[in-house]
Structure 1
Amino acid sequence: MRVLNFYSAVFADQLRNGRKTATIRLGDKSHKYRKNDCVLVTIGYQYSPRERIFHAVIDSVEVKRVKDLSPRDIEHDNPEFRRTEEMVHFLEQIYDRRVELDDIVTVVRFSQIIDRPPTIRDRLHGIGGAQN
């Protein structure tokens, strides 16, 4: 099984709350992630313990230039961003190098795998979900 790892604990809440549903990685990662693959989403640094967040299915893998990222691509990666300039600055921080608009990135969209989605009826009757 492949791992889709995030280094910043800042993403933990966004992932758990379903606000982060994509990752934009510098370079062509289409050989590493493929549509319908099951991945383990984790948070942590290399050579350190990682926190398991959830299993996910890869919905799509798209290779494009930074300048071709849509506001939606950017928002799915980081709900706080909308503009390409914000994404470029963020990628420069992560990869510790200058990122150009012509650089290639891979947009990996994913969906959390849950045991069984609660139905509307379940929610109305307090079954299968968080109870107050």
Structure 2
Amino acid sequence: MTEDQRDAPRPHVVLLASPGVGHLIPLAELARRLVDHHGAAATLVTFADLDAPYSRSAVLSLLPSFIATATLSVVSLDDLPADARVETVLFELVQHSLPYLRDLLRSMSVDALVPDFFCFTALSVAA
């Protein structure tokens, strides 16, 4: 790597993982590879809701220190019926969290947003 490459600003990629360790682990690995292999800066964003805290915190504690993390604020899902399907709850959680994601993205310089499948509606805030 040349000195100019070291001094050049790194692209910042924000990765948004829906609740569940099965979604978090692959995006954590992608974040690590973006940093290791492409020189990007990475921030992994998670939701405070619907996940056993020990699962999320255990995975996040294993991340290298060069990957930043952020957790979106808790949102109320009281407007959903008690028997709502888990897919509905996940999609609504993402939808209710978009204002917090928008605020987070505005607070940093972001070059790319990579949401997982359940977070596709978050692409609307990327614009």
TM-score relative to the length of structure 2: 0.31
Q: Please state which structure has a larger fraction of its residues in helix.
A: 2
Higher-Rg structure is 1
TM-score relative to the length of structure 1: 0.30
